[in-house]
A and B are shown apart, each in its own frame.
Chain A
Amino acid sequence: MTGDHQTLALLLFSVFVAVTLGITTWVSRHRHGSAEEFYAGGRLFSPMENGFAIAGDYMSAASFLGISGLIALYGYDGLLYSVGFLVAWLVVLFLVAELVRNCGRFTLADVVAARMSERPVRIAAGTSSVTVSVLYLVAQMVGAGSLVALLLGGTSGAARTWTVIGVGALMVIYVSLGGMRATTWIQIVKAVLLLAGTVTLTVLVLVRFHGDFDQLLRTAAERSGHGESFLAPGLRYGGDWTARFDFISLGLALVLGTAGLPHILSRFYTVPTARAARRSVVWSIGLIGGFYLMTIVLGFGAAAIVGPEAVRGSNAAGNTAVPLLALDLGGGADSTGGTVLFAIVAAVAFATILAVVAGITLASSASVAHDLYASLRRSHAKPRSEVAVARAAAVGIGVVAIALGLLARDLNVAFLVGLAFAVAASANLPVLLYSLFWRGFTTRGAVWAVYGGLIPAVVLVVLSPVVSGSPESLFPGVDFQFFPLQNPGLVSIPLGFVAGWLGTVTSGELPDEAKHAETEVRSLTGAGAV
């Protein structure tokens, strides 16, 4: 990458950072400092705005660069990811979005705790929400570090370190000063930028092949060196049975995890009604679906135009496939068009990461302040404003994420994202669905469902080849690997559901009929919704 690329990309980065900081200042000018304002942005966003913000929250750099890169290197197997990421939204639309909007206030724990003995349930749900958020946050931080280092040519440790610290500082500023309102506008801006960039590149790829998708696929297959098998599943996950089960496990985690992600759930509280929540999901399904369809074109386009060897030569995981494609589509490495397109793609990827980390930081600070602090503080302690605690929590989470991001910087980003989805699906989804739909669900069942999913998911990862026992592990020197799969979802998601059921049938307490009636009536009608 030459100096021109770097200068222009840095300039565009700076413009984006300046714009987002401007939004934050403008928004915080007339804020009221209420919890309603900080966590939910005043609840008056329109469905379209919220739909764009959800899409901006969800489409991470792992999707934009990672999935296209996987398709460029492994062909069809990369496409399996995008299907999982999209189909997951049906779970959100059918079972979660409207009901959660109707009976919660700010967090996942609100929905569950309303029916149960509040304190233990809030602590459990708060803990698992913070765990999921921190895992997801670390994945994005690691991604940001390696991405910027890669795109700017500085592969040295210092560039990565400063990127991680810079991203962490920016997200803390956005969240603690601007709250949900600033975060939402940043996500909307990012979604528009990302979609505009993706549409431009897709059109350029299709123009290159005269609109002939078949020709594009044939060229990609030819150029990949794998022939026909490039267009069929199996190149990446078709090895032994362990690899296949690993993929099924990942597929399950992707489709069930989205509905348990705290930063996605908290977005439904930013619109006034359940109907608006439904319409925002429809917007986001349209935007996200279109986006993933375009990443397929970009991935096969990168394979056909750039070629897998060049992609692999730049980054073994394929993360630079789209930037390289942009360079080529613009007219090559030394042309002005190439330089400009490359810099735009780099800046869009950076904007993507910043917007996603801001959303997660906000959701996890809400869990810390609204769930954990409110339940754990001693009753005679001086009561503090919850929003002040949330602002402080955002700073604390920023520091933790920066530290973990620096520690984990050699871990694979896609793996970390898959893990966050697996924990969300195991710990958050069972308790949420049981609370909304099961009349007999009890406090003990709720607590068991959370910990019964959370603990196995985390323990299985510690015992997996990711942590020890293989050359690519976190600790290659030691071997305490007992669990063969990298993704724990296949085992831990059913365990979460079973634990919730077991806790309920063994508990002595009778389910509270009246509270169940209240949850059911509120969730389906919106009576008393805030």
Chain B
Amino acid sequence: MPAGGPGQVRYDDPWYDALASGWGESGGVGAPVPAVSQAPREEEATAVAAAEVYLEVQRSAAFQEVRSRYRRFVVPAVVVFFVWYLAYVVTATTAPGLMARPVAGAVNVAMLAGLGQFLTTFLFTWAYVRHARLRRDRAALELRWDTQELTRGIRGGVS
């Protein structure tokens, strides 16, 4: 934890404040709270500034690179394993004859396909973790610190 102690994290976290103030209230963003008039205005200003930070980070080239690396791996991988799983289930239910074709000894196509599902799951897991570790983790961590520095700057300035 960067900010030393849970109390500090809460204070620095813009979302925590937004959530806490929304509790049991009407729920609209920035809804007026009658009891205290000064605090919410300050909070609102901070929230707007924090939102600017997130928009800015989202538009930055570094973030777009992390996002596209994530998507370039995950989207094709999801399509491939989902289609492979659906094909397996649909073939098993609609074409049992094909699945029953013997391959070696008592092992048939169905058994190979089933064990193949286990194997591809393990392979996909390994590939995803490797990709995330080598291509994404470092850049994401740097973005995390940068973003937190920016939001902390706003906090410090207002309060």
Contacts and interface: CB of A to CB of B under 8 A. Distances in A.
Task: Indicate whether A and B interact.
Answer: yes
Interface of A: 34, 36, 76, 79-80, 83-84, 86-87, 89-91, 93-95, 98, 105, 110, 113-114, 117-120, 214, 217-218, 221, 228-229, 231-234, 237-238, 244, 247-248, 251-252, 255, 272, 275, 278-279, 281-282, 285-286, 289, 292-293, 374-375, 377-379, 381, 383, 512-515, 517-518, 520-522, 524-530
B98 to A, nearest CB: 9
Contacts of B22: 118-119
Q: A-B pairs with the 8 shortest C-beta distances?
A: A119-B27, A232-B100, A514-B51, A527-B147, A234-B96, A217-B106, A517-B58, A251-B89
Contacts of B27: 117-120, 375
Interface in B119-138: 121-122, 124-125, 128-129, 132, 137
Interface residues of B, number: 72
Interface in B55-107: 55, 57-58, 63, 66-67, 70, 74, 77-78, 81-82, 85-86, 88-90, 92-94, 96, 99-100, 102, 104-107
B153 interface: no
Contact of B90 (A34, A95, A248): A248
Given A118-B22, A285-B122, A525 B143 contact: yes
Interface of B: 1, 6, 9-10, 12-16, 18-19, 22-29, 50-52, 54-55, 57-58, 63, 66-67, 70, 74, 77-78, 81-82, 85-86, 88-90, 92-94, 96, 99-100, 102, 104-108, 110-111, 114, 117-118, 121-122, 124-125, 128-129, 132, 137, 140-141, 143-144, 147-148, 151
Q: Chain A interface secondary structure, helix, strand, loop or mixed?
A: helix
A2 B44 CA distance: 71
Contact of B140 (A251, A279, A377, A525): A525
B19 to A, nearest CB: 7
30 contacts: A36-B6, A83-B85, A87-B85, A89-B121, A90-B81, A117-B27, A118-B22, A119-B27, A218-B106, A231-B100, A231-B108, A232-B96, A237-B93, A248-B89, A248-B93, A251-B86, A252-B89, A279-B129, A285-B121, A374-B23, A374-B24, A514-B51, A515-B51, A518-B54, A521-B143, A524-B67, A525-B141, A527-B151, A528-B13, A528-B151
Contacts of B19: 105, 110, 113-114, 118
A83 B117 contact: yes
Contacts, number: 196
A380 to B, nearest CB: 9
Contacts of B137: 275
A524 B70 contact: yes
Given A90-B125, A218-B106, A229-B100, A114 B92 contact: no
Contacts of B77: 90, 94
A270 to B, nearest CB: 15
Nearest to B59: A517
Contacts of B10: 530
Contacts of A527: 57, 143-144, 147-148, 151
